[in-house]
Structure 1
Amino acid sequence: MSNKHHRYECLSCESGFETKAQLRGHLNNGHTDCEPGGEVDLTDPEYYLSRELSKLEFNRRVLAEATDERNPLLERLKFLAIFTQNMDEFFMKRVGGLEQQRAANITDRSPDGRTPDEQWRDVLDMAGPMLEEQARAYHDHLRPALADAGIAVLDYAALSSDEQARLDDYFESSILPTLTPLTIDSAKPFPHISNLSLSLGVLTQQPGESDATFSRVKIPKNQPRLVQVGDDTRYVPLEQLVAANLAMLFPDVDIVEHAAFRVTRNAEVRRNEEIAEDLVQRAEEVIERRQFATVVRLEIAESMSERMLDTLLSHLDVDERAVFGLPAPLDFRDFDQLLDLDRPDLTVEEWTPQPHPRLSRPRHDSGGSIFSEIKREDLLVHHPYQSFEGTVQRFLDEAADDPNVLAIKAAIYRTASDSKVVQRLIEAADNGKQVAVMVELKARFDEENNLEWAKRLEEEGIHVAYGTIGHKTHTKTMLVVRQEDDGVQLYSHVGTGNYHSETAKRYEDLGLFTASRDIGQDLVKLFNYFTGHSLHDQYRELLIAPGNMRERFVELIRREAEHAREGKEASIVAKVNRLEDPEIIEELYRAARAGVDIDLVVRDICRLRPELAGVSDSITVRSIINRFLEHSRLFYFHDDGAGRYYIGSADWMERNLDNRVEAVTPIHDPDIQQRLRHVLDLSLADNYNAWELQPDGSYVRHTPGEDEPIRKTQAQLMREAQE
């Protein structure tokens, strides 16, 4: 019998219920009042959202911050630039990958039922209006608001003749010598257009002739994109200044047309790792090949003629569906130049990470040593609320100088170009410590930086492992071996974020310092794998991928489902960057059908469809977008009141659980557990910066009710750090 008029429905038997509680009771009783019916096929594509479209939905939420008038004006401009960067990476990585699959005639369907070609088409259909929305946000909202605030981004044509003359003089003396016009003719092939470069296409004619010649002028990156007009906060885009002076570049010809364009190239330039002589060679090849990869997107000024566009299409080999005509300017990344203006009235209050309360002053029982403090009790750090320099960097600083430290081992996925972390590792080796470093050369877009550091470390005599064949190493782990009166002690750091001093100021991350012998021994096994060749699958405490992590997460989810079937309280709360793995989603669906309450805080990609009656009606999914990038991975399982907590580097994605080396640590200290619960509760209560995922894949922003207090997760954590 069908009960379509009821709000909640058991998909196994189509029994209908008025309330969620009635449905849950029905499920908990094993469908005893069901009429005959089969089990729900939880692999059905209807239960999965598109990974690619979900990522675009995240970018849409980022763009919403640029139009949110609750944000200070320059903060809104920052999000406009971030949106450009996010879309660039999306096309380079995700669309680039789809292009490769299409070229290889791959027709396998994703969990949501789409072929690569269907995904590619859907992505382009969704991305186009979003790029247009970004342009409208700038022209209709941000640019007028900036002008009202005394920061004017002007058109060259709007300047007075005197102002134009002064800028023309500046162009001739400072810009013109840096430009190199490249023209197509019988002796000159079409020039290579570098990835993400902004260019002017120029059509010229000889006087009295009808044929036009195409030239490309690259807008230099080593010059300010916004050229200041006089001493005021008035600016003209550099490409407009170049366009106004094209006669200096192309004398004695008629300039028929000029228009800006921008090329995005595929970043998925993989090669078979098994045939690479070593990972260093492979990294160098990836860096080189990426510059010449296929074009996956062409952005053009909407004023560009069909004649010029046809020239670009014929030489760039890009599909017309991947061409986006937009109002100038193209590329808002460089507009963050305005963020350096001294306008505190237009920005969020600057945040200074605070000292950790347990490390900010010497304790009589620890002697001021970070090792004594960790040995006394596990220590949780939360960035950027607490200082990276005063916690992680201090841990390494003391280890490098401490005569009792025997060895230091670290896994580096990304680090700053002027990394103090790497410098201290070098100094530790100079001080006689045994130092081993795993440097991941496959960290996308950081290959060149990591390669340089790896070579420097090797030159200093440090043991360097260059990642592993077949797996990208993504762990955020460090181990210090120290000789003490009671024997050799192991001090471990397991975190969710990279050893990167700059991103630690902008990314929200968690880290555990512990003197646990079991966790230390697990890290010994893990680091031996980096420098050896065999990966263990048995660990005392840590969840390691691709070893025991997937199995343990599935076990923990199933245990909650079993408790729910027994009528016990059962709940799961997880905070991750992405939820994509079909097996984990299927287990969460089963747990929800058993009656488990599941609250998920997922920053961007989420394939799971929440609040589907009889499948995921007890699952909520939230996303928090604010000044800091939510980056920590934190898991809670009620476990019949035992309360199990975990933090680490892994998202619930297939690549993290199967194809990357990841580490997640349990948290046993009751005080730290309480603090982690507080972080989760704040995230679930946020009514200002939180968005809620709908079953159709769209998101709705939470707003406080008329008499409801405003609850902001990050603002509250900043207040607590200061207190």
Structure 2
Amino acid sequence: MSDKESLEHEHHPDYESINLENPAYYQNRELSWLSFNRRVLAEAEDPSNPLLEQLNFLSIGTSNLDEFFMVRVAGLQDQLKLHVNERDTKTQLSPDEQLEAISVKNRENLDYQYDLLKQKKQELAEHGIFFKRMKELNDNELEHAKEIFNNQYFPALSPYGIDAYRPFPRLNNLLLHVLVRLKKDNEVFNAIVPIPGLIDRVSLLENGDEKVVLFAEDIISHFIDRLFTGYEVTQTLVFRITRNADFEIQEAGAEDLLSVIEDYLVKRKSGRAVRLEVDTRDMDPSMEEELMYLVNELDILERDVYRLDGPLDLTVLSKVTSLLKPSHPDWVYPPFKPVTPPEFQGATVYEQIDKQDIFLHHPYDSFQPVLDFILEAVDDPNTIAIKQTLYRVSSDSPIIEALSRAAEKGTQVTALVELKARFDEESNVHWAKQLEEAGCQVLYGMRGLKTHSKATLVVKKESGRIKRYAHLGTGNYNDQTAKLYTDMGLLTADDSIVQDVTDFFNYLSGYSEQPDYQLLHVSPYEIRDTFFDAIEEEIQLHKEHGNGHIIAKMNSLTDKKIILKLFDASRVGVKVELIIRGICCLIPGIPGVSENITVHSVVGRFLEHSRVYYFHHNGRQTLYLSSADMMTRNMVKRVEIAFPIIDQAIKQEILDILALYFADNTKAWEQHSDGRYYKRSPQSGEQPLSVQQALMEKAVCEAH
């Protein structure tokens, strides 16, 4: 035993007796996600964010939560209904226990969110902007609201009565509905009026310097008696349901995955209800009977019902901000235009790649060089082939257009369009058909796996010989999200990497075992094995040299095998620094378990999306970028790529970027040993530093 190990045993006399399976050392995945969403909501009370951006964070929190219920909560409810009592492997909670804990924690988040909304309304009122209910309108405003109802809403509404001849109507996922109680001749009736998703949910009335924000459901509820001639409307109740969107796609035996996906999309629209939200602000106690009727019809539990003291579906706040932004441009973030790196100014992309590897850090660096990588290849008569993986692309994608044009010109184009990209299935089916019609060879992914890799290969014939170029990245080939997500990418002509990328595409398009790559590490399994071995090597080198250091930046950390290995590293003294935006199932700072691990989370203007993995390796400094998080699903159930950074200057640039993350004291949170996150703030003598702001300023400075 080394002197260092002896000291550690002396410090922890019960070192050998520590049971690393203890649930107290882990966070439940779902509860950790709710903690992340709480951090998103907290941005709504950060004064460094402009007022309308604060509203946007409340909107983002709701959008996040909707997907969480459609997928994660729905999956747990399925387990419960099917009597699958599979406990969480880390915290040992059963599905029922997880659902109960989710209900408690989510209600705390919702109370916080709606309290913040009230604060934002008060702040806006100080500037002459008022969120009004119908009873608060003056006569002139009420007349405007009536015109809106008659001209915009009434023609689009369809009331559905409920009786023996008119069964309980189909209630669409995430759509607002109005439950109406009617009376005629002392007899009570009920009806439901869906509010179409395509109508304008927000109306902005202007009266001099004052503006009034009205929501469609309030206007419709107020004038809804027009739909029920001869009946008296006695009560109304606005509600919204969330449905299960977590269906398993049945790939086995499918001759055409395209048609399977299209059938799946139809099925998802009618998924089982998993949540009922009710606007209780004007709810009469007598409507409790109708509410329980809804609960029974939807076959949900009381804990799945959320009574909210405010408007439902706060994603509407993003529409409010878009209406207010033109008259209050100083209430949003100052414009930032991603910069074109100096090396691309006045030179083609391929001229630069021929000189050296090119590192791009979006959104600080423009995504245009990646687009130009494709566009220049399309327009070059020497281009023989273009191969690309597509997971999520923009609604008007220049990449789809470019690949189609290349195929029409006779270039061999192979595009893997991942049809199973959740919530992008419909658009990906559309893109796949368009590419096929243009003459591209379109692959739909791999059976049982999602292809989440971000890779492009361009093959050219130059001066009589074949030349290959590759782009590898951490983010999607989406020119719109590239302005909002932080991602990293590499443009390279390195012989080993382009050969690996060639083998990778041949693996996807043909029939072969997993290739024996030279530099790439490709899941399923290989990425996890690579990281596991890298951590073990760091442990052994630390025992010998005492300088162990691991840095990992990712979206989520859930894989127990990796977590246990990180515990092993911490226990021998390796310094482990984690930057994890969202879910983190590891609890840092526990003596004898994770005291050498720190967990940081940055929530800011841009969505942190890049994945970086660094191992000191006694000065050898191994660094990977990857499309994969340290999640079991990424490393076992997906086709992902981790690629090394070989160029020393690029490696140092990335390490400098990581150092800024650890220096952030305005947008960074730290998880403590109690499992809670605490926001960092400048300490005595420290200057405020936001990593995202610093990187924006750095990009602008370097571009000039």
TM range (shorter): over 0.9
Aligned match of 1:381 in 356, 360, 372?
Answer: 360
Out of 133, 145, 157, the position equivalent to 2:123 is 145
1:347 to 332, 341, 349: 332
Give the equivalent residue in structure 2 for 1:223: 199
- Which of the residues 290, 298, 302 maps onto 1:316? 298
Contact 1:379 1:513 in 2 (8 A): yes
Q: CA deviation at 1:25?
A: 6.7
Q: CA deviation at 1:29?
A: 5.3
Number of residue equivalences: 691
How far, CA to CA, are the matches of 1:244 and 1:170 in structure 2?
12
Specify the SS of the correspondent of 1:437: strand
3-state SS of paired residue (2:343): coil
CA distance in 1, matches of 2:678, 2:185: 59
Q: Residues 414 and 500 of structure 1 are in contact (CA less than 8 Å); yes or no, is this contact kept in structure 2?
A: yes
For the Cα contact (< 8 Å) 2:4–2:543, is it kept in 1? no
Which of 491, 499, 503 is the equivalent residue of 1:525?
Answer: 503
Aligned to 2:34: 56
Task: Decide whether the 8 Å contact of 1:61 with 1:625 is kept in 2.
Answer: yes
Does residue 492 of structure 1 match 2:470? yes
User: 1:214-264 CA deviation, whole Å, 9 max, x = no partner?
Assistant: 211122222221112246532211111111101111121111210110101
Closer, same or farther: CA 358–486 of 1 in aligned 2, 3 Å: farther
Residues 205 and 253, structure 1, Cα contact 8 Å, conserved in 2: yes
Query: What are the Cα deviations for residues 563-616 of structure 1, in whole angstroms up to 9, with x where unaligned?
Result: 111133110001000011000001100011111000000000000110010111
CA distance 1:450–1:271, change in 2 (3 Å): closer
Post-superposition shift, 1:697? 2.1
Aligned amino acid, residue 457 of structure 2: L
- Residue 332 of structure 1 corresponds to 314
Paired residue secondary structure (1:478): strand
- Aligned to 2:39, the other structure's residue is in SS state helix
Provide the C-alpha distance between the structure 2 equivalents of 1:185 and 1:258, rounded to a whole number of angstroms: 18
Report the alpha carbon displacement of residue 132 of structure 1 after superposing the two structures with TM: 2.0
Q: Deviations over 1:462-484 (max 9, x none)?
A: 10100111111000111101112
Structure-to-structure mapping, 1:690-705, within 5 angstroms: 690-705=668-683
Partner secondary structure for residue 38 of structure 1? helix
Pairing 1:357–2:336 present: no
| CA deviation after TM superposition for structure 1 residue 40, in Å | 3.1
Q: CA deviation at 1:181?
A: 0.8
Q: Which residue of 1 aligns with 2:622?
A: 644
Question: Letter of the aligned partner of 1:213 in structure 2?
Answer: F
Give, as a single letter, the amino acid of the residue that structure 2 aligns with 1:135: Y
Question: After superposition, what is the alpha-carbon deviation per residue over 1:6-54, rounded to whole angstroms, capped at 9, x for unaligned?
Answer: xxxxxxxxxxxxxxxxxx9753657379868735332332322100000
Taking structure 1 as the reference length, what is the TM-score of the superposition? 0.93
SS at match of 2:416: strand
> Contact between 2:503 and 2:515, CA under 8 Å: does it hold in 1?
no
The gaps in structure 2 that reach 5 residues or longer are none
Q: State percent identity of aligned pairs.
A: 39
Aligned residue type for 2:34: L
The answer on whether the counterparts of 2:570 and 2:595 sit within 8 Å (CA) in structure 1 is yes
Offset at residue 280 of structure 1 (A): 1.3
Match of 2:98 in 1: 119
Match for 1:511 among 467, 489, 492? 489
Letter in 2 for 1:416: S
- 1:71 matched residue in structure 2: 49
Quick one: which of 395, 399, 411 aligns to 2:377? 399
Q: In the alignment, which of 331, 338, 349 is matched to residue 370 of structure 1?
A: 349
Does residue 449 (structure 1) correspond to residue 427 (structure 2)? The answer is yes
Give the superposed CA RMSD: 1.7
1:537 shift after superposition: 4.7
- Contact 1:354-1:386 at 8 Å conserved across structures: yes
Aligned-partner Cα distance in 1 for 2:169–2:13: 70
Are the equivalent residues in 2 in contact too, given 1:634–1:647 (CA < 8 A)?
yes
Q: Secondary structure at the match of 1:349?
A: coil
* d(CA) in 2 for partners of 1:559, 1:551: 12
1:47-196 superposed matches below 5 A: 47-110=25-88, 111-139=90-118, 141-196=119-174
- Out of 460, 464, 480, the residue aligned to residue 438 of structure 2 is 460
Secondary structure class of the residue paired with 2:469 = strand
Map of 1:469 onto structure 2 = 447
CA shift for structure 1 position 402: 0.7
In the alignment, which residue of structure 2 is the partner of 1:241? 219
Q: Distance in 1 between matches of 2:560 and 2:606?
A: 29
SS at match of 1:31: helix
Partner of 2:406: 428
Please report the TM-score for the alignment, with normalisation by the length of structure 2.
0.96
**Cα-to-partner distance string for 1:256-277 (whole Å, 9 max, x where unaligned):** 2101101011111114321434
Cα gap change, 1:275/1:696 in structure 2, threshold over 3 Å: closer, same or farther?
farther
Deviation at 1:617, TM superposition (A): 0.4
- Would the alpha carbon gap of residues 28 and 369 (structure 1) be closer, same or farther in structure 2, given more than 3 Å must change? farther
Larger displacement relative to structure 2 (442-451 or 545-554): 545-554
Mean CA deviation greater in 226-235 or 419-428: 226-235
Deviates more, 1:340-349 or 1:47-56: 340-349
Does 222-231 or 119-128 show the bigger shift? 222-231
| Alpha-carbon distance in 2 for matches of 1:692, 1:31 | 28
Distance in 1 (alpha carbons) for counterparts of 2:10 and 2:687: 44
Please list, as runs of the form range in 1=range in 2, the aligned pairs for 1:652-671 lying within 5 A after superposition.
652-671=630-649
Q: Deviations over 1:418-459 (max 9, x none)?
A: 111111001111222110000000000000000000011111
Q: Is the 8 A contact 1:75 1:347 kept in 2?
A: yes
Q: Which residue type is aligned with residue 297 of structure 2?
A: H
In 2, distance between residues paired with 1:308 and 1:229? 34
467 and 36 in structure 1: CA distance in 2 versus 1, 3 angstrom threshold: closer
The residue number in structure 2 matching 1:687 is 665
Map of 1:16 onto structure 2: none
Map 1:616-631; keep pairs closer than 5 Å.
Answer: 616-631=594-609
Displacement of 1:656 after TM fit?
A: 0.8
CA distance in 2, matches of 1:606, 1:37: 24
